[in-house]
Amino acid sequence: MRKIAEIAAEFLATKRIAITGVSRDPAGHGGNVVHQRLRERGYEVFAVNPNADEIAGEKCYHDLKSIPGGVTAVVIATRPEAAEDTMRECVELGVKYVWMHRSFGPGSVSPAATEYGRAHGTTVIDGGCPLMFPPASDPGHRLMRWMCRPPSKV
């Protein structure tokens, strides 16, 4: 097992990241916050929602395989029930890093998705938020990292 801070640094060193579950109604939705903040930090970020063609004036992809050139990393910000299908798509596409978003409550974490991804060589972070770690972090998310205690090792 490796420390989450080390894996988070590797994840955030990638520059093409897809966020699944970005909502057409962004109020209070974690996926939308992650999408916006990573974009502000200079990442090439792709919104994924099978029910939307555009979100906040930007193109939205219906699935990961529709993203031109693919991505190296994915943040899953959907219901946990959808995470396993997304993980299977990530494995099929050769996505190296997958982060299942969670702050309070179950978030997007699915034990079955975690097991499947790791069994197929994907680096999986099952909890917390990429915005809790530098260079994407902000004071509020650093506080949440302390409060929520994402897994220390993955």
Weakest-pLDDT range from 7-11, 14-18, 28-32, 121-125: 28-32
Share the mean pLDDT of the chain.
87
Q: Report the top-level CATH class of 4-148.
A: alpha beta
Residue 127 has pLDDT above 60, yes or no: yes
Residue 139 has pLDDT above 80, yes or no: no
Q: What's residue 64's pLDDT?
A: 98
Q: For residue 72, how many other CB atoms are within 10 A of its CB?
A: 16
The pLDDT > 90 percentage for the chain reads: 62
Q: Residue range 47-59: average pLDDT?
A: 92
Please write the tens of the pLDDT for every residue from 87-98: 999 999 999 999
Residue 1 has pLDDT above 60, yes or no: yes
* SS3 label, residue 128: strand
Taking the C-alpha atoms of residue 154 and residue 147, their distance in angstroms, rounded to an integer, is 18
Residue 129 has pLDDT above 70, yes or no: yes
CA distances from residue 114 to 10, 67, 106 in whole angstroms, order as listed: 18, 23, 13
Q: Residue 147: what residue type? A: M
pLDDT band at residue 148 under the 50/70/90 scheme = low
Q: Residue 79: what residue type? A: R
DSSP 44-96: EEEEE-TT-SEETTEEEESSGGGSTT--SEEEE-S-HHHHHHHHHHHHHHT--
* SS3 label, residue 2: coil
| Prediction pTM value | 0.89
Check: CB of residue 55 under 8 Å from CB of residue 47: yes
Taking the C-alpha atoms of residue 20 and residue 43, their distance in angstroms, rounded to an integer, is 15
